[in-house]
Amino acid sequence: QPKCNSETGAIVSMEALSRWISPVRGFVAPGEFIPFLENNGMITSLDTYIWDAVCQTLSYWKHDHLYVVPISINVSVADIETINVPEYLQDLITKYDLSPEMLLVEITETAFSENNIIVRETIDQLHQHGFCVLMDDFGSGYSSFNILLENLVDILKIDKMFFEKPLDDKNKSIIQHIVEIAHTLNMQVLAEGIETKECLDFLKEIGCDMVQGYYYYKPMPLHDFHKLIKSRKSDVKA
Ligand code: C2E
Ligand code: MG
Ligand code: MG
């Protein structure tokens, strides 16, 4: 799914999201199978497969001189507990001859409270390797404010929950404060789940840097993204 500059709508990066197309059940959303894989310990097999596929895509773009934007991957706390994620990603970057800025690492807010020390150490190492780290689903957990002030990540993703209902004054004020605090701490802010022009206009007004949501683009198969990027060449960096 593309992520856009709020002001211009230009595609600035994208997020790799898994889909299971089952011959029996048809389309199965990740919300149905990811928690199951996280519980039975198989999530790391899926995630490492996806990370490899993402790096292959980036390498293909690079070698065919296609238009390139960084791609976000989702990292579960179970991955962090099972393998050395920074080393794993570093090996992929080396294998595919990429630079670390092309891979963005998304870790959900809940991971920070679930396993404090190891998550923080992992972020430290990711930064040492040159990766950019995003805090996903910010505001969906309980310990948000303290986590924000710890200034652990480079980009804050405000959870789509805030944008599910029409924005009232209370929510607007909370979102505006989150953006201000994040900017004070030198973090960029991305709002997810943006479906309406009203939300987008409000986010522009308060200086939110990026948006991700159906207003601009829904998640799409990679070949559709290639078609899109060809038709909107002026948007993206070579
Ligand atoms: P996420 O990482 O927060 O991804 C964003 C979710 O918001 C995606 O749901 C996306 O389809 C949805 N979304 C984006 N824009 C809009 C919008 O405007 N309206 C609405 N209603 N939804 C929007 P999706 O694809 O169902 O994925 C759900 C979650 O599953 C993801 O949330 C992520 O935490 C997890 N996930 C997906 N793929 C993977 C994966 O390969 N590995 C891991 N570990 N987790 C994954
Ligand atoms: Mg994510
Ligand atoms: Mg999210």
pTM: 0.95
pLDDT tens figures, 188-201: 999 999 999 999 99
Q: Whose CA is nearest to atom 15 of ligand 1?
A: 213
Mean pLDDT of 102-117: 88
Residue 127 has pLDDT above 90, yes or no: yes
Q: What is the pLDDT of residue 228?
A: 87
Ligand 3 center to 210 CA (angstroms): 13
pLDDT one-digit tens code per residue, 36-70: 999 999 999 999 999 999 999 999 998 887 778 99
Candidate of 57, 192, 200 to mutate for ligand 1, largest count of ligand atoms within 8 Å of Cβ: 192
User: What would the two tokens of residue 94 be?
Assistant: 């080396």
- Residue 106 CA to ligand 2 centre (angstroms): 5
- Residue from 40, 44, 74 to probe ligand 1 pocket by mutation (most atoms less than 8 Å from CB): 74
Higher pLDDT, 64 or 75: 75
